[in-house]
Amino acid sequence: MEILGIDIGGSGIKGAIVDTETGDLITERHRITTPKPATPEKVANTIQKMVRHFNWTGEVGCGFPTPLQHGKCQTGGNLHETWKGVQVDELFSEKTGNEYAIVNDADAAGLAEISFGAGKGKKGTVIMITLGTGIGSGVFLDGKLLPNTELGHVLYKNGEIFEKYAADSVRKNENLNRKEWGKRLHKYFKHINLILSPDLFIVGGGASKKLGKFVNHIKIDTPIVAAEAENEAGIIGAAMAANFHIK
């Protein structure tokens, strides 16, 4: 089945038509810079441009970078505060006339890995952790997604969430070396490991390419592996979400 997958990020909005049977992109990936400010109206207009680029009339899957519940934004995430309370699938459908499946971007990346990557065929609890601007998560049990988890928002201390302590953006902003960042990630993964006891962690996002530089500082028994799909995971997973009719 062919579905248009769109990965909405803070800096870029990327799309391609995906063969959901194989996970292959059957068109060239198309990228449009995320508008500033990334308000609902401006992002919806960009989605319209993306759909028109592919001359697409069928269902669309979108990976979206905010906390969601049944396609409704719970916060503005890293986009814009005015997203809070917006029913994203309805907004985009009104703009383009297509039907939309809206899935959290980390869930989308996880769907790609469970279907075609590092998590394929894995039984038990598998947790996808994306390390980028924030910390995203996708939780799977025997290959089935528990949607809309926000494990980056688990509290660290003094009301601060782990996302503000250990995300890749924090590493860059505070100029942390590998050991310093690794120790912060150790605290995070140790905590998630304690409360969920997963069988496997998959690390995605920009940090997946440099997993070997810091993973030795994360001293837990649960295996930690890098995501395989990398930059295309969000597009592939978004298409998979539409294929599975995930909301």
CATH code at position 150: 3.30.420.40
Minimal CA–CA distance to 43: which of 73, 16, 70, 3? 73
Question: Is 154 in contact with 162 (CB distance < 8 Å)?
Answer: yes
At position 95, the amino acid (one-letter code) is K
What pTM does this model have?
A: 0.91
Structure-token pair, residue 206: 């920009």
Minimal CA–CA distance to 204: which of 183, 225, 179? 225
Q: Is the pLDDT of residue 245 over 70?
A: no
Minimal CA–CA distance to 226: which of 206, 199, 196, 198? 206
Per-residue confidence (pLDDT) for residue 132, from 0 to 100:
87
In percent, the amount of the chain with pLDDT more than 70 equals 99
Q: Is the pLDDT of residue 84 over 70?
A: yes
Cβ-based neighbours of 229, under 8 Å, separated by 6 or more: 23, 109, 112, 113, 116, 117, 236, 237
Residue 206 pLDDT grade (very low, low, confident, very high; cuts 50, 70, 90)? confident
| Number of domains, the chain | 2
Per-residue confidence (pLDDT) for residue 232, from 0 to 100:
87
Residue 221 pLDDT grade (very low, low, confident, very high; cuts 50, 70, 90)? very high
Give the separation between CA 242 and CA 247, rounded to whole angstroms: 9
Looking at the structure, do residues 100 and 125 belong to the same domain, yes or no? no
Q: Is the pLDDT of residue 244 over 80?
A: no
Looking at the structure, do residues 43 and 23 belong to the same domain, yes or no? yes
Q: What is the per-residue DSSP string for 163-184? A: HHHHSHHHHHHTT--HHHHHHH
Mean pLDDT, residues 98-108 taken together: 95
Per-residue confidence (pLDDT) for residue 246, from 0 to 100:
59
Looking at the structure, do residues 26 and 46 belong to the same domain, yes or no? yes
Residue 77 pLDDT grade (very low, low, confident, very high; cuts 50, 70, 90)? confident
Cβ-based neighbours of 118, under 8 Å, separated by 6 or more: 200, 202, 225, 226, 227, 228
Question: Is 62 in contact with 102 (CB distance < 8 Å)?
Answer: yes
Looking at the structure, do residues 217 and 238 belong to the same domain, yes or no? no
The secondary structure of residue 205, as a DSSP letter, is S
Residue 220 pLDDT grade (very low, low, confident, very high; cuts 50, 70, 90)? very high
Looking at the structure, do residues 16 and 42 belong to the same domain, yes or no? yes
Looking at the structure, do residues 220 and 127 belong to the same domain, yes or no? yes
Mean pLDDT, residues 75-89 taken together: 94
Structure-token pair, residue 192: 């998630």
Q: Is the pLDDT of residue 192 over 70?
A: yes
Mean pLDDT of the residues in the chain: 94
Question: Is 103 in contact with 111 (CB distance < 8 Å)?
Answer: yes
Question: Is 133 in contact with 78 (CB distance < 8 Å)?
Answer: yes
Looking at the structure, do residues 130 and 206 belong to the same domain, yes or no? yes
- Whether residue 188 is contained in a domain is answered as yes
Q: In 59-210, which residue ranges form alpha helices assigned H by DSSP?
A: 88-96, 105-116, 163-166, 168-173, 178-196
Per-residue confidence (pLDDT) for residue 193, from 0 to 100:
98
Give tens-digit pLDDT for 31-51: 999 999 999 999 999 999 999
Per-residue confidence (pLDDT) for residue 209, from 0 to 100:
83
The dihedral built from the CA positions of residue 133, 49, 58 and 229, taken in this order, carries a sign that is: negative
Mean pLDDT, residues 126-133 taken together: 93
Mean pLDDT, residues 120-129 taken together: 96
Per-residue confidence (pLDDT) for residue 10, from 0 to 100:
83
**Domain around 68:** 2-104+234-244
Per-residue confidence (pLDDT) for residue 34, from 0 to 100:
95
Residue 201 pLDDT grade (very low, low, confident, very high; cuts 50, 70, 90)? very high
Cβ-based neighbours of 129, under 8 Å, separated by 6 or more: 106, 135, 136, 137, 151, 189, 192, 201, 202, 203, 204
